Structure 1
Amino acid sequence: MGDVVKDEYSTDYVAGQDNIQKFGLDLHAPVFPITAVLVLTFVIGTLIFPSEAKEILDGAKWWILGQFDWFFLISANIMVIVALSLIFLPIGKIRIGGVDATPDFSTLSWFAMLFAAGMGIGLMFWAVAEPVAYYTGWYETPLGVEAETPEAARLAMGATMYHWGLHPWAVYSLVALSLAFFAYNKSMPLTIRSAFFPLLKDRVWGWPGHVIDTMAVFATIFGLAASLGFGAQQAASGLDYLFGISATVNVQMAIITGVTAAALVSVLRGLDGGVKVLSNINMALAAILMFFIIFAGPTMTILETIWITSSSYVSNGLALSNPFGREDETWFHGWTVFYWAWWISWSPFVGMFIARVSRGRTVREFVTAVLLVPTVITVVWMSAFGGAALEQVQEGIGALAEDGLTDVSLASFQMLSNLPLVGITSFVGIILVLVFFVTSSDSGSLVVDSITAGGKTDAPTAQRVFWVVMEGAIAAAMIFGGGEDALGAIQAVAISAGLPFTAILLVMTWGLLKGLTHERKLLLAEGKL
């Protein structure tokens, strides 16, 4: 037994102790009223003044891209280094929830929920469009390589994997670990502000914490709305492709309305009966579709593409991570900076959701699973979809080869049209998008409600219903306000929400390292590690 070490990270604050409990609600003031009013203002203002809203969003996007592109890249690079370090450092032995904690979910269900929450709609939307865009030089190629060359094909897969590999999952893992550690090991509220306790101490329960949680809600709800917007576009394009239902703005908004209603049902069923069940169903469907493409498509090409994707990702990672002196500034701003802002704006949602389902795992097990397992799965997924699509383009087969990338939301269906059972596979693709849509909305509302209820995980269901409706309303407002350039409006919202939260994540990472280091000293002194 070593020397006695005082626990500096203990607090008497109880989740929700400052809440207002009226009319059957349990609201944390001022976080809930401020965020609710500002979100409603955004939705109403965008619907009433769509052209003015689009102008403001575009202006904000291009200003941020011009001034802070380096900040996004350097911040994400730091998070990858820290996350990988946690796997090997001694603090990796610490168990989330304490030395006797056991996992709440099976490993397979855990992986399914991690993956469905963390990527979801994006994998269906971009798995074909992104490699094809890079290969053909849709508006510029990565690192300035010549379009439609063998080098462009290799780099297209490597750059796609760069955006969907270690960087996003490093961001998610650090946010999730921060939340899980302070909530389950230190009995603090399950909310973003708790991760700042090592730096702010009890001041975190005052106005500094209100600011942090309010910014987290904005980042979460607008990052989610961006994904829901993409999902609505792709589902509408799929319906148009299969059934001739024109993919108009009204159709997209109708899809958002229908999926929001389904998310409400999932909310009412709870975490086990809602998100868990849907995540398992979706991962099974996704696996079936991926293996169908591998074996019904150009199997040897796809297997070769797995190696090409992996090796290109590794060999080009440093060049793609460099924010200075880029020859491909248009590509870099339009893709990488947008992705990093999107991942960061998603991180409170994905991080808190992962934290909710990860009690009982060691830090090493947690980071290894959250960082490496999804990356490996994504390599195979992108190689299947992207490899099949690139071969079709190179061989002159189908619409992607003949017409080019005319509609990114349609690209996956155009690739599937050149494989057997096109009607079935395209329909499964639409179902995947819609169910990913539902799980994202449901689990996102769970997270936002927890933050706006002061970290309580058992707040009244009516509050989650409110946030589900708000997520759908923001996505619909962006589709409506963006008009023909809805994709640009979605990107602008994600980038604007991601910038301020990037600074918060860097400070949160510092607080996490301080907290884990202190916890290891405590456990060693008690003979428990």
Structure 2
Amino acid sequence: MLTTKMNPRVFWGASLIIGLLLVFAVAAPEFSDRVFKTAQAWVIDTFSWFYVAAVAGFLGVVLFLALGPTGALKLGPDDSEPDFPYISWLAMLFAAGMGIGLMYFGVAEPIQHYINPPEVEPRSFEAAREAMVITFTHYGVHAWAIYAVVGLSLAFFAHRKGLPLTLRSGLSPLLGKRVNGPIGDAVDIFAIWGTAFGIATSLGFGVAQMNSGLSYLLGIPNTAWVQVILIAVVMAAATASMMSGVGKGVRRLSELNLILAILLMLFVLVIGPTGFLLKALVQNFGAYLDHFVTRTFTLYAYEPRAWMADWTLFYWAWWIAWSPFVGMFIARISRGRTVREFVLNVLLVPAGFTFLWMTVFGNTAISLDMGQAAGAISRAVTADLSTALFHFFEELPGTTFTSGLAVLLVAVFFVTSADSGALVIDTMASGGADDTPRWQRMYWCVMLGLIAALLLLAGGLGALQAATLVAALPFAVIMILLSIGLVRQMNADVAGRTIDTEAPPLSEQLKRILSPASRREILRQVDRTGVPALEGVRAGLEAEGLDAALTREDDGLVLTASVGEGGRGFHYRLTARPRPRPALTALDAPEGRRAMEWRLMAHSADVARPRDVTGFTQDQLVSDVLDHLQRWRMA
């Protein structure tokens, strides 16, 4: 019999909705395409103001949280350390968020804005400058602010508050216990099917570009069936990577991704017009800053034009639709980071790399199209976006090498998006569990490949892409609720950590230094916060079918549990312990005669040294127990 750790309502509910939409798109591709694209056009036209205002608001919220007092909060217990090295963490951020898009649109988008700009003369120097500002806007901090809202909410409530790593957890400050009912199920189901179709449509773009590259290099036919075979091959690699887990397969592939991308970009930078590109990068960034506020709020209200719906509003909806996937993934890999570190790195580092990438490929393409290519690149972009990159490489030395490296890079991006996407969906469908059975992870990986393959064969890729964008509207509302819950809970954490009485914060800090806690005060904390926190964990372990007990001791209490293979014993002990008060001057009494202060210390099976948890709230103690239980199981 198969073991399972799923939430049945979410797992099978999402599977049913995915199946129904897939049948509709495959059985009647032309009709479904019309229905979904009509709905998409109506949503974007009617709610364009809402999308623009919401995205600006998301950017404001995450900056407010990062730069204010909440920025010092840890995404985990206060003593937690990051799970991944900094460079590995950045590599995974980059690979999950923008991968295939950089390859597919790195040449195509700047060229498209250059030949069809919204405001200036096409194919002019003004059009070239405007093309880069627009591209930077679409791939810059606005996109990553959308991801950061979802990722920060998930990471904060999961790693710090000990709640499941699911979207519903972020709504707990607003809904309370109701978040575990039908409303929470609906939110998670909605996020799963939106994520599944968003990833599947992007994978469809990826295999189209891979097929174009292989056709260019090896003469392989550029057909739907070849692309289906490519999907099968790459999804097999994605399944193997996913089975090895985030710490091995996904991390290593993300690092390989980043290395290959940098090599390809450096090659184009060195072989291309290097001096011009470096100057263009600086000028592009300056123009981006100069137009930042204007582009943030542009809607062409006084002179309506279809360009806005086709580009900026399309991108805002697409990033919102992708945010459950990217947000969940970056939350999962960001435990131990501070809020400030999370937000600033998520906003600035991938966006900065993207600006460099788009300058190197976009400005080189525009420069070549104006000169030696004589319009060949823009004609290729107009004819078939998937071939644009390879026509671009024809204008540079080492065409075969660069085209081959590009195909490899697309394949690795494909694998990374697929395996991380399947892990994210499986986590949401399993109530936040990250140690699910293999068959569940494989199920979602196969599902993603099946969706992409069937849609390619039936011609329904555009219909499901439109459906995903329609789904972005209600999810934008969910994101607003996540933002409200996040701000409310983070501010409460800051207040709870520094304001325990009616005295001003400075007075409270002086009191703690000059009049440290007595034994009775620490034992009162054990009764007030320690007992309910550890009793909640004990009850949760027993609900999972594990043996657990909470025992009172003279100076505290201890939680014991038998977990994992062979029933290994885990313990978590809270103990009141004295220590000499710090000597404030050289005239203080020596340590042997110094007055004593009392602290609440936590001891757990995974580490030898005790930790000071004096003043921890109930939620913080629960998070600390879960954090060390996870470390102990992985040891």
Task: Report which structure shows greater RCO (CA 8 Å, sep ≥6).
Answer: 1
Q: Which structure 1 segments of 5+ residues have no match? A: 1-21
Alpha-carbon distance in structure 2 between the residues aligned to 1:327 and 1:301:
35
What is the aligned partner in structure 2 of residue 5 from structure 1? none
Q: Distance in 1 between matches of 2:347 and 2:55?
A: 13
Hey, what's the Cα distance between the residues in 1 that align with 2:216 and 2:279?
30
The one-letter amino acid paired with 2:281 is: I
C-alpha displacement of 1:490: 5.5
What is the Cα deviation at residue 40 of structure 1? Answer: 1.7
Structure 2 partner of 1:251? 226
Could you tell me how far 1:85 is from its partner in structure 2? Answer: 2.0
- Matched residue type, 1:245: I
How far off is 1:253 after superposition? 2.2
Deviation at 1:31, TM superposition (A): 1.0
Which residue matches 1:12? none
Residue identity matched to 1:379: F
2:358 is aligned to 382
**Cα-Cα RMSD:** 1.8
Is contact 2:34-2:463 (8 Å) kept?
no
Which of 64, 74, 80 is the equivalent residue of 2:59?
80
- Supply the distance in 2 between the matched residues of 1:165 and 1:196 (Cα, whole angstroms): 27
Residue 492 (structure 2) pairs with residue 518 (structure 1):
yes
From the superposition, tell whether residues 26 and 87 of structure 1 become closer, same or farther in structure 2 (CA, over 3 Å).
Answer: closer
Calculate the TM-score normalised by the size of structure 2. Answer: 0.76
Question: What residue is the counterpart of 1:479 in the other structure?
Answer: 456
- 1:63 equivalent to 2:42? Answer yes
Q: Of 183, 188, 200, which residue of structure 2 is paired with 1:208? A: 183
CA contact (8 A) 2:25 2:464 kept: no
What is the distance in 2 between the residues matched to 1:94 and 1:239? 49
The amino acid that maps onto 2:18 is V
Distance (whole Å) between structure 2 residues aligned to residue 332 and residue 206 of structure 1: 39
Superposition map of 1:421-432 within 5 A: 421-432=398-409
Q: In the alignment, does 2:89 pair up with 1:110?
A: yes
Shift of 1:513: 0.6
Structure 1, residues 73-131: CA drift from partner, whole Å, max 9, x if none? Answer: 21111111112222311110001102100011100000000000011100111010000
Q: Does 1:363 align with 2:349?
A: no
| Cα distance in 1 for residues equivalent to 2:494 and 2:381 | 55
TM-aligned CA deviation for residue 344 of structure 1: 0.9
State the distance in 2 between where 1:274 and 1:384 align.
Answer: 30
Task: Report the secondary structure of 1:120's partner residue.
Answer: helix
Alignment of 1:96-495 (within 5 A): 96-137=75-116, 141-142=117-118, 144-321=119-296, 322-325=298-301, 327=303, 329-397=305-373, 399-400=376-377, 405-482=382-459, 486=461, 488-489=462-463, 491-495=465-469
Deviation of 1:376 (Å):
1.1
Q: TM-score, normalised by structure 1?
A: 0.91
Report Cα offsets for 1:381-437 as digits up to 9, x if no partner.
110010110101111416315666321111111112211111111111111111111
What is the deviation of 1:29?
2.8
Amino acid at match of 2:348: L
Alpha carbons of structure 1 residues 239 and 30: separation in structure 2 relative to 1, 3 Å? same
Deviation at 1:66, TM superposition (A): 2.1
Bigger mean CA deviation after superposition, 399-408 or 242-251: 399-408
- 1: distance between equivalents of 2:339 and 2:430? 27
Structure 2 counterpart of 1:424, one-letter code: F
User: Secondary structure at 1:358's aligned position in 2?
Assistant: coil
* 1:48 maps to 2:27: yes
- Take 1:480 and 1:324, find their aligned partners in 2: how far apart are those partners? 38
2:346 maps to a residue whose letter is V
Aligned to 2:555: none
In structure 2, what residue type is equivalent to 1:127?
A: G
Residue identity matched to 2:470:
S
- Aligned AA (1:524): T
Q: CA deviation at 1:52?
A: 2.4
Compute the displacement of 1:326 (Å): 5.8
Q: Is the CA contact 2:17–2:193 (under 8 Å) kept in the aligned structure 1?
A: no
Q: 8 Å contact 1:223–1:497 — kept in the other structure?
A: no
Asked whether the equivalents of residues 107 and 388 of structure 2 are also in contact (C-alpha less than 8 Å), the reply is yes
- Count of residues in Structure 1 that have an aligned counterpart in Structure 2: 501
Q: Deviations over 1:230-256 (max 9, x none)?
A: 111211111122222232222222222
Check conservation: 1:92, 1:362, Cα contact below 8 A.
yes
**Equivalent position SS for 1:119:** helix
Q: What letter corresponds to residue 407 of structure 1 in structure 2? A: D
- 1:174-232: CA deviation from partner (whole Å, max 9, x where unpaired): 11110011011111001000000110011101111111111111221122122112111
Runs of 5+ consecutive residues of structure 2 not aligned to the other structure:
501-508, 510-614, 617-635
Give the distance between the partners of 1:328 and 1:373, measured in 2 at CA. Answer: 34
Secondary structure of 2:311's partner? helix
C-alpha separation in 1, matches of 2:380 and 2:93: 37
- Larger helix proportion of the pair: 1
The DSSP-based 3-state class of the residue aligned with 2:232 is helix
Match of 1:14 in 2: none
CA contact (8 A) 1:54 1:482 kept: no
| Greater strand content | 2
1:4 maps to none
For residues 477 and 307 of structure 1, what CA distance do their matches in structure 2 show? 44
Q: Distance in 2 between matches of 1:402 and 1:45?
A: 35
Per the TM alignment, residue 61 of structure 1 is displaced from its structure 2 partner at its CA by 1.9
